A = this chain, B = another copy of it.
């Protein structure tokens, strides 16, 4: 029999987008090592992506509203904490989070999780899916 770990929970998901410049770089490494590990993603003048973000919130459905969480509130949280912070920005230069943290998709997903987590109820699960391109994406969270 299938163990119904999640059977009474519902997950609601909201997609958003931001367009940013970045480069992959570890400032504690030599230029040669950065180039060897990160290749063209290390280009010193940056490149960029259309990031597609899916935020997933898991919990019980409120019997009065039929909602796990009001999607307008979730949309506003994403707008305030992610889109305003990262959209049409250079992640390495314009954000506090990636001044010293390498903006790989893995790290961006974790940072988004940490920025959104305080605004999501403690009884709710949070999971981030972040597409860097159509072919490369990451997942992070509960």
Contacts and interface: CB of A to CB of B under 8 A. Distances in A.
B11 A140 contact: yes
Interface residues of A, number: 75
Contacts of A16: 135
Interface in A14-39: 14-17, 19-22, 24, 26, 29, 37, 39
B66 A101 contact: yes
B142 A26 contact: no
A122 B1 contact: yes
Contact of A138 (B12, B45, B102, B109): B12
A71 to B, nearest CB: 6
A48 B142 CA distance: 30
A88 to B, nearest CB: 4
A61 B142 contact: no
Given A10-B138, A135-B14, A88 B1 contact: no
17 contacts: A2-B9, A10-B139, A17-B133, A19-B49, A21-B48, A26-B65, A37-B65, A37-B70, A40-B88, A45-B89, A45-B90, A46-B46, A47-B88, A48-B48, A48-B49, A48-B50, A67-B104
Given A2-B125, A19-B47, A40-B88, 13 more contacts: A2-B58, A4-B125, A5-B5, A7-B141, A13-B138, A13-B139, A17-B133, A26-B65, A40-B87, A47-B48, A48-B49, A49-B49, A66-B102
